[in-house]
Chains A and B, each alone.
Chain A
Amino acid sequence: MRALQALSLVLGVALAAPALTVPALAATEAPKPPSLSWSFDGVFGTFDRAAAQRGFQVYKEVCSACHSMNLVAYRNLRDLGFNEAEVKAIAASVEVTDKLPNDQGEMFQRPGLPSDKFKAPFANEKAAAAANSGKAPPDLSLMAKARPHGPDYIHGLMIGYEEPPADVKLTAGQSYNKYFPGHIIAMAPPLAEDAVSYTDGTKATVDQMASDVAHFLMWAAEPKMEERKRIGFQAILFLIVATGVFYAVKRKVWADLH
């Protein structure tokens, strides 16, 4: 009996000890980006339309030079509060090659339509890599879900550029970023003070643009989030009531046994 208690104690300690050292282990990779408080956090969280629209502006004017967003269509921008005419105008600002040939059998160019997906900056991944010192800029549609700490990470990445430590040698096209795993990144710092001039008058600091574009990318990755949380709240409320009723019925049915 004694031996047994000792055994469970040993196992318990053996289990608990490494749990305490986990953060230390993880720290060798990249520091955790600062965690911001987002309007989309929590049970009732929603996207901040103004922030997401500003983020779209940053994407359109800066990031879209290198990054595609193949899963998002111009029509989806209506969710962010752009009206029909604005969406049409945004779509029409690009020239796209239609998916099907014309009656002469030739591929042809036309202005973008709301039903088109965002126009990609490069024809294919090879072209994208060739233009960016060998590293293709990844598609951003799902970026906010494809990295640990999603939007915090994107914000962190934008503000995380710094001078490399003395022992790190960078080659052409490389930069040093505190939050990028491995730190050496093939993306030059994309944002500089006033890189965009916000139509709503917000001051375009790097930090502001970084959180706006992260906000926009979170929406792009999870466009159904608001609907999901709304339905979820109703569903759970219903389930709590139903479960309460079931419990009462259970008590009543079982009462005659006790």
Chain B
Amino acid sequence: MALQLQNPILKWIEYRLPVFSTIDHMVGSGYPTPKNLNYLWNFGSLAGIVLVVQIVTGIVLAMHYTPHTSLAFDSVEHIMRDVNYGWLMRYLHANGASMFFVVVYIHIFRGLYYGSYKTPRELLWFIGIIILLAMMATAFMGYVLPWGQMSFWGATVITNLFSAFPFIGDPIVTWLWGGFAVDNPTLNRFFSLHFLLPFVIVGLVMLHLLALHQHGSNNPLGVEKKGPQDTIPFHPYYTVKDLFGLGVFLIFFAYWVFFNPNYLGHPDNYIPANPLVTPAHIVPEWYFLPFYAILRAVPDKLGGVLLMFGAILILFLLPWLDTSRVKSSRFRPIYKQFYWVFVLACIGLLWAGGQPPEGLPLYLSRVCTVYYFAHFLVVMPLVGWFERPRPLPASISEPVLGGGKLPAGAAARGTH
């Protein structure tokens, strides 16, 4: 649908520099959207909004923050105490990072459930994984900036992981640190990269949207849209729905910021970094705990590191590991159950990651790690082959208009 501009100034600009049609193509309001999206489809736009919140609050924080080991901690406290609404900026930013991961994790589990990684959305899925990796790097480096005890020791533990690689390990660690310990050069480069990466994410998000709009959103039925009867324009239908979702989300966000702002953080990070005193338990932020649990579930350091990174990289293989031709788990009675086992395993890892690696938590992290990988490498291919999916509706409007009666002809094995 071509963009119709009324305003003569905008027309003048568009004639010379097609910015408006480019933007419209990317976040176009008129773009035809499946009519049956449920509330899980709100989380994409929410993620975009949280990214903007992080960038705006981050830029304000950067105006008052000092990236030096002897000043960083106090400069954050200066923000908290003396800068007008500095406490608000910092609590929005620190809790915003958690909200970002809540939203993106739900967004990813939505994709897993409805098979959104399958043809023709593989690249869309890949860009999403790269965004997740960039977010993780950004959040990790951001957590180092206030230069508290967890900042320092978290940075030390995580960067040290690279020393597990034979030969190149130690040189890599020295290179990352910019010296022989986590110190001022490390803090400086982390600040620089923490400032840069969110803008890289913005670029990736644009690609993500470009890929999305090529074939449009998947939907809870996992059946591609077949014509205008299956779609509605994004605006106003999904703009108001997204707005309502945003309202609910902001209430949740505001609860943390205003009434429990330090709950998701760690008390030790209010102690200035001290290289001579190791905290009793070094734990990363909650959103890294599942991966931290996988890392520590493996008795061998290198093995743990490889498995931890593998846990994310394996997501790149999903389009091929999932052998079913049906997208949505709604029509996959067996896979659906495994899906919930997988969710349970992830929750188990999240919990175990926050406990000292011994006894039950360690045992649990091992069970869940095995299932995490088995789910992708064994369950997905096999269930895809052997499962008999329930009959698929002929089209998106079918179940909506047809009172739930499904034509038997449109059965199993194949949407095309």
Contacts and interface: CB of A to CB of B under 8 A. Distances in A.
Interface of A: 1, 4-5, 7-8, 11-12, 14-15, 17-19, 21-22, 25, 29, 43, 71, 76, 138, 141-142, 145-148, 150, 181, 221, 223-224, 227-229, 231-233, 235-236, 239-240, 242-243, 246-247, 249-250, 253-254, 257
Contacts of A142: 77, 270-271
B246 to A, nearest CB: 8
A231 B89 CA distance: 13
B259 A232 contact: yes
A11 B259 CA distance: 34
Given A22-B355, A25-B355, A239-B250, 13 more contacts: A14-B363, A15-B364, A17-B360, A18-B352, A142-B271, A150-B267, A221-B270, A239-B251, A242-B247, A243-B250, A246-B243, A249-B240, A253-B240
Given A224-B87, A231-B88, A232-B257, A15 B347 contact: yes
B93 interface: no
Nearest to A138: B271
B270 A145 contact: yes
A246 B244 contact: yes
Nearest to A19: B351
Contact of B251 (A1, A22, A236): A236
A18 B359 CA distance: 9
B267 A147 contact: yes
A21 B364 CA distance: 13
Given A148-B267, A224-B87, A228-B88, A4 B341 contact: yes
B386 to A, nearest CB: 12
A71 B77 contact: yes
A8 B363 CA distance: 16
Query: Does more than half of chain B's interface fall in helix, strand or loop, or is it mixed?
Result: helix
A243 B88 contact: no
B258 interface: yes
Most chain B CB atoms below 10 A, which of A150, A250, A253: A250
A230 to B, nearest CB: 9
Contact of B255 (A7, A21, A147, A236): A236
B12 interface: no
Nearest to B77: A71
Interface of B: 35, 74, 77, 80-81, 87-88, 91, 232, 236-237, 240-241, 243-244, 246-248, 250-251, 254-255, 257-259, 261-262, 267-268, 270-271, 280, 334, 337-338, 340-341, 344-345, 347-348, 351-352, 355-356, 359-361, 363-364, 367-368, 371
A18 to B, nearest CB: 4
B87 A15 contact: no
A229 B367 contact: no
Contacts of A247: 244, 247
Contacts, number: 125
Given A145-B270, A247-B244, A257-B237, A18 B258 contact: no
Given A142-B77, A231-B88, A11 B244 contact: no
A253 B74 contact: no
19 contacts: A11-B367, A15-B344, A15-B351, A18-B360, A22-B355, A25-B356, A29-B280, A71-B81, A76-B81, A146-B268, A146-B270, A228-B87, A228-B91, A232-B258, A239-B251, A246-B246, A246-B247, A250-B241, A254-B241
Contacts of B352: 18
A43 B259 contact: yes
A247 B240 CA distance: 8
A235 B251 CA distance: 8
Contacts of B337: 1, 4-5, 8
A18 B364 contact: yes
Nearest to B361: A18
Contacts of A21: 360
A134 to B, nearest CB: 13
A233 B352 CA distance: 35
Contacts of B355: 18, 22, 25
A21 B371 CA distance: 23
A239 B254 contact: yes
B372 to A, nearest CB: 12
Contacts of A221: 270
Given A18-B364, A146-B267, A228 B247 contact: no
Contacts of B261: 228
A250 B244 contact: yes
Given A17-B360, A232-B257, A242-B247, A145 B262 contact: yes
